[in-house]
Chains A and B, each alone.
Chain A
Amino acid sequence: MTPHEVSTKTLLKSTIAATVIALIVFVCFILPAEYNIDPTHIGHKLGLTALAHHNDEATPQAETAVMQEQAQQAQQVIEVTVPAGKGIEYKFQMAQHEKMTYEWLTDGEPLYFDLHGEPEGDTTGYFESYAIATLSEMRGSFTSPFNGSHGWYWKNNTTQPVAIQLIVAGQYKVIGLKQ
């Protein structure tokens, strides 16, 4: 092994150049494309921030906006991410006796969940649970017992964010995430 030795000046120049190039690429391209963080607005101009929306790690808010536009389809695939140590609620508006079939799964991590409904206009905080368990996947169907918002509460007790894929079909309107 014959290490290549350069002068201190070249070494300094190389290290600084490496850092500067890395910083520029990081701020202008990597952050916008991977995490939708775009301080320079270059990522947006280049269309890189669009990549972040399709990422597994995209923010739930960004995805909800898209989902709300495509309410009531034959079958809908919804992806949500439950941040580490947090709980999220994903709801659908359904009138009485409307039906939904559903299937959801995580990437293997079991989550505590509560499938429940809240009557429209209720201010007392009343809700009715249809299923409570800790599972990594579940499929089933239900008929809305009353007009209101129906959906899942998932709680992530791990230290990693957990992605959930939710596939629904039936009569409903997406309300989306409530935090």
Chain B
Amino acid sequence: MPNNMLRLVALLIGLLLLGTSIDGLAHGVDDNTRVFLEENEGVQFIPFIYIGAKHMFTGYDHILFLVGVIFFLYRSRDVLLYVSMFTLGHSVTLLWGVLGDIQVNPYLIDAIIGFSVVYKGFDNLGGLKRLLGKQPSTKVAVLIFGLFHGFGLATKLQEFELASDGLVANMIAFNIGVELGQFMALAFIVIAINFWRKSASFQRFTTITNTMLMSAGLMLVGLQLSGYYLS
């Protein structure tokens, strides 16, 4: 069904443009947000929800990983289960990282997040099963990578000296925002993928899609590692 394919491609390009037109993407927060965070004092619940949602919705590293995760999840119960594992993972480390003041290098953590995309693309092609002889648990992988994604989110907030006044409430607000942003992004992804699965092209393009995921993940790894070595 070439018509469906066209619509899907248009949707993907639209999403891509939406992502690239917003400043301060996968690494860091844009200047307006920066000014806000620096001048912030006390509890700012709604603004922090917004920052969290915006970061997740425009953070293509998180989105790519989620695309990989739900690529082969046909049932909504599975989608819910896997996304919950991911949410559990990144909530734990986001809160722990900021509240416990855990210092992780943002470039290294973002490189690991890039690697999680490569891992998922490779796994989706049955690569790990072939390489290791048996399929490593996909649920555990999502949970573990979720923990790393959470540290990545934490480093974004740690770039600023957040006032300790109202920090816990602000952090919880940020986390709620992250989940909202993830939910919005997922709505798009799940609809697009479910729609695409109905067409024959899904099977035909499975290999290519996951190859592209791997490739995009490798680019993220390269981008972040070079940032690490050059900074």
Contact = CB atoms under 8 A, between A and B. Distances in A.
A107 B160 contact: yes
State which size class the interface on A falls in: 35 or more
Contacts of A22: 214-219, 222
A15 B122 CA distance: 8
A11 B124 CA distance: 10
A101 interface: no
Contacts of A159: 103, 105
B78 A1 contact: yes
A30 B73 CA distance: 32
A69 interface: no
A17 interface: yes
A63 interface: no
Nearest to A160: B231
B14 interface: no
A57 B227 contact: yes
**Residue in A15, A17, A19 with the greatest tally of chain B CB atoms within 10 Å:** A15
Contacts of A35: 226-227, 230
Interface stretch (A2-10, A118-126, A144-152, A170-178): A2-10
Interface string B117-141: 0100111111101100001001000
B74 A17 contact: no
Given A4-B72, A6-B125, A14-B207, A108 B223 contact: no
B76 to A, nearest CB: 13
Contacts of A56: 28
A26 B219 contact: yes
B28 to A, nearest CB: 8
Contacts of B214: 14-15, 18-19, 22
A17 B211 contact: yes
A20 to B, nearest CB: 8
A8 B74 contact: no
Contact of B215 (A8, A10, A18, A107): A18
Interface string A34-71: 11010000000000000000001100000000000000
B159 interface: yes
Interface in A103-155: 105, 107-109, 136
Interface string B187-221: 00000000000000000001100111011111100
18 contacts: A3-B129, A3-B135, A5-B126, A5-B129, A6-B207, A11-B127, A14-B125, A14-B207, A18-B121, A18-B211, A18-B214, A22-B218, A25-B219, A30-B226, A83-B231, A107-B38, A107-B160, A108-B38
Given A4-B210, A8-B130, 20 more contacts: A1-B73, A1-B78, A3-B126, A4-B206, A6-B125, A11-B125, A11-B126, A14-B210, A17-B215, A19-B218, A21-B212, A30-B222, A31-B226, A57-B231, A83-B231, A107-B159, A108-B160, A108-B161, A160-B231, A161-B231
Interface of B: 28, 34, 38, 72-74, 78, 103, 105, 118, 121-127, 129-130, 135, 138, 159-161, 206-207, 210-212, 214-219, 222-223, 226-227, 230-231
Interface of A: 1-6, 8, 10-11, 14-15, 17-19, 21-23, 25-26, 30-31, 34-35, 37, 56-57, 83-84, 105, 107-109, 136, 159-161
6 closest Cβ pairs, A-B complex: A22-B218, A5-B126, A18-B214, A108-B161, A18-B215, A14-B211
